[in-house]
Structure 1
């Protein structure tokens, strides 16, 4: 979520962005599952639209229609095996990542190339079968028809190769850690564009301190996205204010207080309709998720069953890079204003202390059994203590003192100061 969004009289989008305020167009994108279904439908319709007029093509040399029909049916049903391979690779890679890294890591499954390849093969199948049936019992047909089918098949094979390379990357530790970090950096650059200003660190009063509570009434679900422009428009239309009590990434259970509404009140149906839920957390608006994933990978590596401290060290390298990136950013981005400058919507967002705890605390105790991982954790905390602003160092120094004490007591032979 960007730091500020200008609302408008329209309930479906922001107005002109003012200084320091940006549009939140990424918040209005269709859900990922909807985009996947639409891509498959569009490719199927395109295949149908190209296949039906195939007999009408008259350009170029002509060949026997019976042979062309055989080729088209062979290619059409051949791509079914390609779709089967796509699903097999998807299943195996997702299973490998879940068992080796963390069950919450779905990077390969969410790769656009996976679903684009599937959608393209569906379109190719529809084109081949439709054009084959449309040709029917004609005596001859233009060579452009089989040529187009062969060309599209080559494109499908190229997509399949790209898919395989993505699958190979997804089962390698370095590529998975880098993919998490890249997505996190992209998200943080969107959410936290402004540098940290210690003089403005005092949080403003809540948007809606008193009012009516709106509770979750559905089955348990994970809050994935908040359509802030829709909430802004609804709040301004009713001269209300909405203070969400849950952040993206929170699991909602029946009776959970989702928001508090003041003024004339935004209807519960409108408020809940602005929330996108699912069965798992996503990167879209959940800035804490990258830290959770990297910490999970480190914890699994440090478990007695795996005992791979080198993997934990690599995960700590990426945790340090993300924490250093956030150390100098303004993290108070949860208040959203309409075009008049009045605060209408607030969303709880993680603060600096929360990020440090999520990234470090669980790993600290697990790393106590490994001098390699504990030393790397010490280096991480020392770097943060040097790079973080003064009023953000307390939470880091507390953990650094614990690490120094634990390491000195547990590993006096190898625990050197290392400051120089």
Structure 2
């Protein structure tokens, strides 16, 4: 009988199971349960510590530790004021996150944000600390020679420290959660948890016997190539890194392929993957939820292109920002145009290739930098003029074997512009090289006479 059938036909246990599920759903989706629970715990702790202080005649903790009554009142008053501000900060950040998620991503993601436990814990802790401080302030008598509830003061000091720690962690958590990758991971992780809960945590393995698979999903952000070369040398094999640095690898997908060396004989080659433990390779590859710039130049291009394309999309329509992004893309391509790019081969001390990986080619960088902007900005004269100027400059520094991708961009740009304009004068103006879009081209500037003497 299937799991669904056993659940439906559970007999008398069905209503009880549903009641438990309803309770679990209520606990998970309730936004106020955790904060209210923290408030109740705070009141109980305050009442208990104050009762102990009264029972011991307020002498359990000396004033050398807690301070005089005037000192205690000043400290607690300042702490109480700060707690009100901190609670407002948490609620404001949560509201901003909700508005951002609704406007930029999807209204259906709001429920997950409102049920975020970190926000609820921060609000609950700050609220409970405020109640404890207020109740403790009521027990302080006198100014210089009165009584101070020492144990309650220690509790307030502990809550001060806990509040500072939670504030730092909440700011970090909020910053991570407001990122696009953070919101995507929030939904992806919860969906992944459902699959694991229903079907187990065994990933679907692919790649064959020569493959070493990724244990968990993530973007490849760092590769320890010398360590991998050493492992391959010891096992006398060649490692192939399947994803390009920056690629997202799903759990169970091939991360490496293990090949015999060219000098291996048929009798000694066998299956080289069997001579290497998967952990000996995967621990030298760092996966993360988002790409970084550490070893991933293409990621910098990606972000600049995103800014450029988004700036000329509706409702923004800001081609000047696109030109600014093109300035940086132009500069990056100019820096690598005359330089050799990484080959993707890594050798050991004897010159034997032990690790190979795919790398982005010159054509790849040019397409990454210009393809999407060219398609999105063909109707924007600022963008097309800047593209023409950038491509003309890159052609002046690129070696002959790298001219082809630049010529292709110029050809496609000309075709795209001609499809957007019917008047030939508009076409000519849109294809005139201009570093600033419209501002420094030959058709909008005047060159002064040099005034050199004849001869």
Give the structure 2 partner of residue 245 of structure 1.
Answer: 242
Aligned-pair CA distance for 1:376: 1.9
Aligned-pair CA distance for 1:319: 1.8
TM-score for both structures, normalised by structure 2: 0.50
Gap change, CA 1:214 and 1:350, over 3 Å in 2: same
What whole-Å deviation, never above 9, does each CA across 1:205-244 have from its counterpart, x for those lacking one?
xxxxxx9631546676433333435434433443443220
Give the structure 1 partner of residue 228 of structure 2.
Answer: 231
Give the structure 2 partner of residue 288 of structure 1.
Answer: 298
Give the structure 2 partner of residue 384 of structure 1.
Answer: 394
Judge conservation of contact 2:213–2:256 (CA < 8 Å) in 1: no
Cα distance in structure 2, aligned partners of 1:220 and 1:300: 28
Give secondary structure in 2 for the equivalent of 1:393. helix
Give the structure 2 partner of residue 67 of structure 1.
Answer: 73
Cα distance in structure 2, aligned partners of 1:282 and 1:98: 22
Cα distance in structure 1, aligned partners of 2:105 and 2:297: 21
Aligned-pair CA distance for 1:310: 3.2
Give the structure 1 partner of residue 201 of structure 2.
Answer: none
Give the structure 1 partner of residue 282 of structure 2.
Answer: 272
Cα distance in structure 2, aligned partners of 1:322 and 1:95: 35
Gap change, CA 1:382 and 1:253, over 3 Å in 2: same
Cα distance in structure 2, aligned partners of 1:395 and 1:242: 31
Give the structure 2 partner of residue 301 of structure 1.
Answer: 311
Cα distance in structure 1, aligned partners of 2:351 and 2:213: 30
Judge conservation of contact 1:309–1:373 (CA < 8 Å) in 2: yes
More helix by share: 2
Give the structure 2 partner of residue 413 of structure 1.
Answer: 425
Gap change, CA 1:69 and 1:295, over 3 Å in 2: closer
Equivalent residue in structure 1 for 2:341, among 309, 314, 331: 331
What root-mean-square deviation, in Å, do the aligned CA atoms of Structure 1 and Structure 2 show?
Answer: 5.3
Give secondary structure in 2 for the equivalent of 1:404. helix
Judge conservation of contact 2:219–2:246 (CA < 8 Å) in 1: yes
What whole-Å deviation, never above 9, does each CA across 1:53-98 have from its counterpart, x for those lacking one?
xx77949984447525733751574434434445555666687777
Aligned-pair CA distance for 1:335: 3.7
Gap change, CA 1:305 and 1:215, over 3 Å in 2: farther
Equivalent residue in structure 1 for 2:211, among 214, 222, 239: 214
Aligned-pair CA distance for 1:304: 5.5
Deviates more, 1:259-268 or 1:380-389: 259-268
Gap change, CA 1:237 and 1:90, over 3 Å in 2: farther
Give the structure 1 partner of residue 358 of structure 2.
Answer: 348
Aligned residues: 297
Aligned-pair CA distance for 1:353: 0.9
Aligned-pair CA distance for 1:316: 2.0
TM-score for both structures, normalised by structure 1: 0.53
Cα distance in structure 2, aligned partners of 1:370 and 1:222: 35
Deviating beyond 6 angstroms after TM superposition, the runs of 4 or more aligned structure 1 residues are 93-99, 135-138
Judge conservation of contact 2:239–2:258 (CA < 8 Å) in 1: yes
Residues 1:315 and 2:322 aligned together: no
Aligned-pair CA distance for 1:350: 0.9
Aligned-pair CA distance for 1:358: 0.9
Cα distance in structure 2, aligned partners of 1:407 and 1:250: 33
Gap change, CA 1:282 and 1:302, over 3 Å in 2: same
Cα distance in structure 2, aligned partners of 1:314 and 1:98: 26
Bigger RCO of structures 1 and 2 (CA < 8 A, at least 6 apart): 1
Give the structure 2 partner of residue 364 of structure 1.
Answer: 374
